[in-house]
Amino acid sequence: MNHAETGMSRLTLGPVLFNWPAETTRDFYFRIADEAPVGIVYLGEVVCSKRSAFFEPYLPEVVDRLERAGKEVVYSTLALITSERDMAEVRAVTARTDVRVEANDVAGAAMLAGRPHAIGPFVNIYNESTLAYFVGKGATRVVLPAELPARSLAVLAKAAEGTDLEVQVFGRLPLAISARCHHARSRNLRKVSCQYVCADDPDGMDVETLDYEPFLAVNGTQTMSHASVNLVHELDALQEMGIGGFRLWPHSIDMCAVARVFRDVLDGRQESQAAEARLAELVDFAPFSNGFYHGREGAAWVTAPAPSPDVSSGSVLESF
């Protein structure tokens, strides 16, 4: 058995969303392979196809290192297709039959229909009917959108009928994606001649309101939460609902240590209060949030634990 999967729940690592140097990304995954207690690792460019060529030469050795360490590797596709180049990249990934693929838009999902695949968090699955549609097309794993409250997650878990559901539990949340590059515009550059300035911000560029209050973060064409979601206190409730996968988003911190904290809580070796304190030591780029889970604004940090929702009757639409 993979040492990372000592419990019933799977700890996963989402694809790197930021524009890190290719060698940095390679070494990051090498360390994940050797040290991180995660069972599933997602690879691939999700935000901007212009970045893909830099890491591509290292991909085979990264995949080999991860698989030899017992990790399941999943290839993730772009979240937004805006050009022939983007479409060609998605076609190339989805055409592979030797690997599991995660579709992050409906075009990618359509190309994967009829064979087992995953649906990523950029596809809006908010209710049982939508979940059933994608499962009927071959989705065996679904990463749910970040903004769903606990009751909606519980209703979907009840309706999943054996489909693996995954929830985002750590990291800045990907909220939206645009055809325009926010990073380039912030430097008075055009997207086509962006000079890859997104590489200047390895965890995203902070955005403030006119009153200089932290608001959001941007990563190239992507809008992200300013705060880092942290559902370490909610892990027990999520497991009770039937959620089996817990996604960590990579950041330029000690992600192996972050993974160990979540794995220890999932396996009952550490209390969530001690885990929160340890995570606060590790995370230096943003405050924590868990508002979406508690039905609040996403940036909120709710300290009182919420009871497991009662879903003996009702649908997702009744949970809002």
Under the banding of pLDDT at 50, 70 and 90, the label for residue 5 is very low
CB 257, CB 170: distance < 8 Å: no
- What is the distance between the alpha carbons of residues 202 and 190, in angstroms, rounded to a whole number? 20
pLDDT at 311: 61
Q: Is residue 318 pLDDT above 60, yes or no?
A: no
Predicted TM-score (pTM) of the model is: 0.93
CB 214, CB 226: distance < 8 Å: yes
* CB within 8 Å of 6: residues ≥ 6 apart: 37, 263, 267
Work out the percent of the chain whose per-residue pLDDT is above 70. 92
Mean pLDDT score, 247-271: 97
Under the banding of pLDDT at 50, 70 and 90, the label for residue 305 is low
Mean pLDDT score, 158-186: 94
Q: Where are the beta strands (DSSP E) in 61-110?
A: 72-76, 100-103
pLDDT, tens digit, for every residue of 212-224?
998 899 999 999 9
Show the domains of the chain with their CATH numbers.
3-173+227-274 (3.20.20.70)
Mean pLDDT score, 302-307: 71
Per DSSP, the three-state class of 38 is coil
Give the sign of the dihedral formed by CA 278, CA 279, CA 283, CA 286.
negative
CB 24, CB 251: distance < 8 Å: no
Q: Is residue 313 pLDDT above 80, yes or no?
A: no
pLDDT, tens digit, for every residue of 148-162?
999 999 999 999 988
Under the banding of pLDDT at 50, 70 and 90, the label for residue 175 is very high
Mean pLDDT score, 265-290: 97
